[in-house]
Structure 1
Amino acid sequence: MKSDRTVGDHLDDDGREKRTGTLMTASAHIITAVIGSGVLSLAWCIAQLGWVSGPAAIVVFSVITYFTSSLLADCYRSPDPGSQKRNYTYMDVEESTSLSVALHSIAISAVRRSDCFYKYGHAANCDVNNNGFMVTFGCFELILSQMQNFHKLWWLSIVAAVMSLVYSAIALGLSINKISEGGDMHTSLGGVITVDGVDATSSTENIWKIFQAVGDIAFSYAFSTILIEIQDTLKSSPPESGVMKKASLIGVFTTTLFYLLCGSLGYAAFGNNAPGNILTGFGFYDPFWLIDIGNICIVIHLVGAYQVFCQPFFQFVEINAQNRWPYSSFINKEHVVKLPILNQNISINLFRLVWRSFYVMITTLIAMVLPFFNDFLGLLGACSFWPLTVYFPIEMHIKKDNIPKWSFRWLMLTTLTYLCLVICLVAAAGSIRGLVSNVKIYKPFQTPHD
Structure 2
Amino acid sequence: MEREMQKSSMFIEHGPGGAYDNGDIRKNIDDDGRPKRTGTWVTASAHIITAVIGSGVLSLAWAIAQLGWVAGPAVLTAFSCITYFTSTLLADCYRSPDPVTGKRNYTYMDVVRANLGGRKVQLCGLAQYLNLVGITIGYTITASISMVAVKRSNCFHKNGHDVKCHTSNYPFMIIFACIQVVLCQIPNFHKLSWLSILAAIMSFAYSSIGLGLSIAKVAGGGHVRTSLTGVTVGVDVSGTEKVWRTFQAIGDIAFAYAYSTVLIEIQDTLKSSPAENKVMKRASLLGVSTTTMFYVLCGCVGYAAFGNNAPGNFLTGFGFYEPFWLVDFANICIAIHLIGAYQVFCQPLFGFVERWCKKQWPESKFITSEYAIDVPLCGVYCLNSFRLVWRTVYVIVTAVVAMTFPFFNDFLGLLGALSFWPLTVYFPIEMYIAQAKLPKFSFTWTWLKILSWACLIVSIVAAAGSIEGLSQDLKAYKPFKSQQ
Task: Give the match for residue 42 of structure 2.
Answer: 24
Percentage of pairs with the same residue: 63
Please report how far the alpha carbon of residue 184 of structure 1 lies from its aligned counterpart in structure 2 after TM superposition: 4.3
Q: Deviations over 1:272-318 (max 9, x none)?
A: 00000010000100000110110000011011000011111110111
> 2:149 and 2:395 mapped to 1: Cα distance?
23
Give the secondary structure class of the aligned counterpart of 1:334: strand
Between the two proteins, the alignment pairs up a number of residues equal to 443
> 1:281 and 1:183 mapped to 2: Cα distance?
19
**Counterpart residue identity of residue 219, structure 2:** S
The yes-or-no answer on 1:388 pairing with 2:423 is yes
- Which runs of 5 or more residues in structure 2 are unaligned? 1-20, 113-131
From 121, 125, 147, the counterpart of 1:108: 147
Please report how far the alpha carbon of residue 147 of structure 1 lies from its aligned counterpart in structure 2 after TM superposition: 0.9
Q: Quick check: 1:42–1:262 contact (8 Å CA) kept in 2?
A: yes
Q: Quick check: 2:166–2:483 contact (8 Å CA) kept in 1?
A: no
Task: Give the match for residue 151 of structure 1.
Answer: 190
- RMSD of aligned residue pairs (Cα, Å): 1.4
Are residues 335 and 446 of structure 1, via their aligned partners in 2, closer, same or farther at CA, if it must alter by over 3 Å? Answer: farther
Q: Deviations over 1:224-247 (max 9, x none)?
A: 011011111111100010010000
Task: Give the match for residue 228 of structure 1.
Answer: 264
From 235, 260, 269, the counterpart of 1:198: 235
Are residues 84 and 398 of structure 1, via their aligned partners in 2, closer, same or farther at CA, if it must alter by over 3 Å? Answer: closer
The yes-or-no answer on 1:128 pairing with 2:157 is no
Please list, as runs of the form range in 1=range in 2, the aligned pairs for 1:128-277 lying within 5 A after superposition.
128-192=167-231, 195-200=232-237, 202-277=238-313
TM-score (norm 2): 0.89
Task: Give the match for residue 445 of structure 2.
Answer: 410
Task: Give the match for residue 320 of structure 2.
Answer: 284
> 1:71 and 1:403 mapped to 2: Cα distance?
14
Q: Quick check: 1:22–1:235 contact (8 Å CA) kept in 2?
A: yes
From 405, 410, 413, the counterpart of 1:370: 405
Q: Quick check: 1:368–1:445 contact (8 Å CA) kept in 2?
A: no
> 2:173 and 2:37 mapped to 1: Cα distance?
35
Task: Give the match for residue 80 of structure 1.
Answer: 98
Give the secondary structure class of the aligned counterpart of 1:215: helix
Give the secondary structure class of the aligned counterpart of 1:238: coil
Q: Quick check: 2:100–2:277 contact (8 Å CA) kept in 1?
A: no
Please report how far the alpha carbon of residue 191 of structure 1 lies from its aligned counterpart in structure 2 after TM superposition: 1.1
Q: Quick check: 2:417–2:459 contact (8 Å CA) kept in 1?
A: yes
**Counterpart residue identity of residue 98, structure 1:** I
Task: Give the match for residue 428 of structure 1.
Answer: 463
The yes-or-no answer on 1:11 pairing with 2:50 is no
Q: Quick check: 2:50–2:337 contact (8 Å CA) kept in 1?
A: yes
Q: Quick check: 1:42–1:217 contact (8 Å CA) kept in 2?
A: yes
Are residues 231 and 110 of structure 1, via their aligned partners in 2, closer, same or farther at CA, if it must alter by over 3 Å? Answer: same
Are residues 241 and 431 of structure 1, via their aligned partners in 2, closer, same or farther at CA, if it must alter by over 3 Å? Answer: same
> 1:283 and 1:32 mapped to 2: Cα distance?
24
Q: Quick check: 1:183–1:270 contact (8 Å CA) kept in 2?
A: no
Task: Give the match for residue 66 of structure 1.
Answer: 84
Deviates more, 1:161-170 or 1:393-402: 393-402
> 1:338 and 1:11 mapped to 2: Cα distance?
24
The yes-or-no answer on 1:323 pairing with 2:395 is no
Please report how far the alpha carbon of residue 7 of structure 1 lies from its aligned counterpart in structure 2 after TM superposition: 1.2
Please report how far the alpha carbon of residue 4 of structure 1 lies from its aligned counterpart in structure 2 after TM superposition: 3.8
Q: Quick check: 2:83–2:257 contact (8 Å CA) kept in 1?
A: yes
**Counterpart residue identity of residue 60, structure 1:** A
> 1:301 and 1:158 mapped to 2: Cα distance?
10
Please report how far the alpha carbon of residue 125 of structure 1 lies from its aligned counterpart in structure 2 after TM superposition: 1.8
> 2:188 and 2:144 mapped to 1: Cα distance?
27
Deviates more, 1:122-131 or 1:56-65: 122-131
Please report how far the alpha carbon of residue 76 of structure 1 lies from its aligned counterpart in structure 2 after TM superposition: 0.6
Q: Deviations over 1:3-57 (max 9, x none)?
A: 9442122111111111111111110110000001000000000000000000100
Give the secondary structure class of the aligned counterpart of 2:228: coil
Task: Give the match for residue 37 of structure 1.
Answer: 55
> 2:76 and 2:140 mapped to 1: Cα distance?
25
**Counterpart residue identity of residue 177, structure 1:** A
Q: Deviations over 1:320-358 (max 9, x none)?
A: 22122222222222233455x669543222221221111
The yes-or-no answer on 1:419 pairing with 2:450 is no
From 349, 353, 356, the counterpart of 2:384: 349
> 1:116 and 1:215 mapped to 2: Cα distance?
33
Give the secondary structure class of the aligned counterpart of 2:383: strand
Q: Deviations over 1:127-185 (max 9, x none)?
A: 21110000010011011001102111101111100100000000000000000112443
Q: Quick check: 2:63–2:252 contact (8 Å CA) kept in 1?
A: yes
Please list, as runs of the form range in 1=range in 2, the aligned pairs for 1:44-59 lying within 5 A after superposition.
44-59=62-77
> 2:63 and 2:293 mapped to 1: Cα distance?
16
**Counterpart residue identity of residue 51, structure 2:** A
Are residues 446 and 389 of structure 1, via their aligned partners in 2, closer, same or farther at CA, if it must alter by over 3 Å? Answer: farther
Task: Give the match for residue 97 of structure 1.
Answer: 136
Give the secondary structure class of the aligned counterpart of 1:61: helix
Are residues 183 and 315 of structure 1, via their aligned partners in 2, closer, same or farther at CA, if it must alter by over 3 Å? Answer: farther
Give the secondary structure class of the aligned counterpart of 1:82: coil
Q: Quick check: 2:100–2:276 contact (8 Å CA) kept in 1?
A: no
From 389, 393, 398, the counterpart of 1:358: 393
Give the secondary structure class of the aligned counterpart of 2:192: helix
Please report how far the alpha carbon of residue 82 of structure 1 lies from its aligned counterpart in structure 2 after TM superposition: 2.2
TM-score (norm 1): 0.96
> 2:196 and 2:222 mapped to 1: Cα distance?
35
> 1:448 and 1:342 mapped to 2: Cα distance?
40
> 1:448 and 1:206 mapped to 2: Cα distance?
26
Give the secondary structure class of the aligned counterpart of 1:126: coil
- Which runs of 5 or more residues in structure 1 are unaligned? none
> 2:209 and 2:222 mapped to 1: Cα distance?
17
> 1:45 and 1:350 mapped to 2: Cα distance?
45
Q: Quick check: 2:148–2:168 contact (8 Å CA) kept in 1?
A: yes
Task: Give the match for residue 118 of structure 2.
Answer: none
Q: Deviations over 1:45-101 (max 9, x none)?
A: 000000000010000000000000000000011111122410111111113111111
Q: Deviations over 1:356-409 (max 9, x none)?
A: 111111111111111110010000000000001001111111111111111111
